[in-house]
């Protein structure tokens, strides 16, 4: 599986880059020749452009095909957005750009630079600009995904088999799974893995793969992942899997890491099951005796929704450098031997517990809407964007 997925991940960005550079070359050469060159040069440009289809058409086909393969059936989130652009890019190229280029080449060779020629050329330029924009947006999204994966062409992440060794209920509709740790598998606290269930023949809207943060510490003998239980085929199958069942993991991915400077506090903002990477980071910091001040703002609707809450409270009691601030957005609540906030995380709540918001490094994980809200709140509070690390996990 590793070789099967590595090659498409090389082909996809390379083909996309070739496609966008080819279209941009067509577009710029047309504009420059029309503005500054003679009709003879315009004719030469128009005649040469169709020969570029030898490069463009395979590049577009490879981009679309490899993108579809890499999606693994997923139709939501950033991957889904990229997939939705592909039909427009293909239709624009096949129905407008290619016919227009062939028509203009024929007109230019005949010396017919009339109203029809310039009308079709205007349409071609608009269509070309649209495809350049769509391809650029897809490349931007692809680079964002690749940055999260931390994958290089020379050191692709490993795909390994692991066995389910146990499960437990963490909170309402929330399960944790213990899996065997493959020999030699190393990860940093805060990283994640892709999980594939072998034999899952039919994908749901989010595909045949899910992203799970590793919630256990790097020092643990086994790995632990956790999920909200929702009515999708993938999660139903995972929840029903028997002990000893094999799952495939690809990774590790992600770049959440504590600052090198131990004098800088780390402030974790977790929404729901987004707490999982931070549990790993808190455990790792305690195991290694790190001196960072750690603050975990943990938002849930109600206490019964909060995974690992009792354990995190115990970690706080045993680690004077770790402070847990649970906050709940619905209903009445009480926490014995602890203090909780009520309402959504905001700048006032952060300042109350952390103090100066310019000093810490902030880490945000949770549902996409929550992550975007936290990023906006921190920006409005004057926090430098370089001090904010955010990860969205819609697949939980």
Contact residues for 303 (Cβ-Cβ < 8 A; gap 6+): 309, 326, 328, 333, 335, 340
1 bridge partner residues: none
- pLDDT for residue 180: 93
Which residue shows structure tokens 């989010």?
Answer: 206
Could you please report the per-residue DSSP string of 210-260? EEEE--S-TTSSSEEEEEE--S-HHHHHHHHPPTT-EEEEEEEE------S
Query: How many residues in total does the chain contain?
Result: 396
- pLDDT for residue 318: 93
- For 152, other C-beta atoms within 10 Å of its C-beta total 9
The 3-state secondary structure of 141-178 reads HHHHHHHHHCCCCCCCCEEEEEEEEEEEEEECCEEEEE
Task: Give residue-wise pLDDT tens across range 64-86.
Answer: 887 776 655 555 455 667 778 88
Question: pLDDT band at residue 111, thresholds of 50, 70 and 90?
Answer: very high
Look over the chain and give the mean of its residue pLDDT values, rounded to a whole number. 84
- pLDDT for residue 2: 43
Task: Give residue-wise pLDDT tens across range 241-288.
Answer: 888 888 888 888 877 788 888 899 999 999 999 999 999 999 999 999
CA distance 94 to 56: 11
322 bridge partner residues: 294
**Helix or strand or coil: residue 185?**
coil
Q: Is the pTM of this model over 0.75?
A: no
- pLDDT for residue 74: 52
Mean pLDDT of 121-135: 92
Evaluate whether 351 touches 357 at the Cβ level (below 8 Å): yes
Buried (b) or exposed (e) across 88-125, using 16+ Cβ within 10 A? ebeebbeebbbebbebbbebbeeeebeeebeebbeebb
* Domains by residue range for the chain, with CATH: 2-149 (1.20.120), 158-253 (2.40.30.10)
Evaluate whether 350 touches 297 at the Cβ level (below 8 Å): yes
Task: Give residue-wise pLDDT tens across range 298-342.
Answer: 999 988 999 999 999 999 999 999 999 999 988 665 554 446 788
CA distance 69 to 208: 12
Q: Decide if pLDDT at 154 tops 60.
A: no
């Amino acid at each position: 599986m590793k070789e099967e997925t590595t090659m498409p991940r090389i082909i996809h960005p390379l083909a996309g880059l070739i496609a966008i550079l080819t279209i941009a070359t067509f577009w710029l050469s047309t504009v420059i020749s029309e503005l500054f060159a003679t009709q003879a040069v315009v004719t030469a440009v128009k005649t040469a452009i169709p020969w570029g289809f030898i490069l463009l058409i395979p590049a577009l086909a490879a981009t679309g095909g490899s993108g579809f393969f890499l999606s693994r059936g997923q139709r939501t989130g950033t991957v889904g957005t990229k997939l939705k652009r592909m039909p427009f890019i293909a239709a624009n190229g096949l129905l407008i750009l290619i016919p227009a280029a062939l028509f203009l080449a024929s007109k230019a060779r005949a010396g017919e630079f009339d109203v029809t020629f310039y009308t079709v050329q205007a349409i071609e330029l608009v269509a070309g600009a649209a495809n350049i924009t769509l391809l650029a947006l897809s490349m931007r999204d692809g680079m964002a995904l690749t940055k999260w994966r931390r994958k290089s062409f020379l050191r692709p992440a490993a795909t390994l088999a692991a066995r389910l060794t146990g499960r437990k209920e963490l909170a309402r509709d929330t399960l944790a799974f213990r899996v065997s740790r493959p020999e030699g598998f190393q990860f940093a606290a805060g990283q994640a893995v892709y999980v594939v269930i072998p034999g899952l023949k039919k994908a749901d809207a989010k595909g045949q793969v899910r992203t799970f943060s590793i919630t256990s510490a790097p020092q643990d003998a086994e790995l632990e992942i956790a999920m909200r239980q929702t009515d999708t085929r993938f999660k139903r199958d995972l929840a029903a899997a028997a002990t000893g069942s094999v799952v495939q993991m690809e990774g590790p991915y992600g770049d959440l890491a504590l600052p090198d400077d131990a004098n800088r506090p780390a402030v974790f903002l977790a929404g729901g099951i987004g707490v999982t990477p931070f549990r790993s980071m808190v455990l790792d910091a305690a195991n290694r005796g790190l001196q960072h001040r750690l603050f975990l703002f943990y938002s849930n609707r109600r206490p019964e929704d909060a995974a690992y809450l009792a354990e995190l409270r115990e970690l706080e009691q045993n680690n004077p450098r770790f402070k847990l601030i649970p906050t709940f957005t619905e209903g009445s609540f009480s926490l014995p031997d602890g203090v909780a906030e009520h309402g959504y995380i905001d700048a006032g709540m952060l300042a109350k517990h952390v103090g100066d918001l310019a000093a810490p490094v902030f880490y945000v994980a949770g549902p996409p809407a929550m992550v975007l809200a936290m990023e906006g709140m921190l920006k409005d509070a004057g926090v430098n964007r370089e001090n904010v690390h955010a990860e969205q996990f819609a697949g939980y």
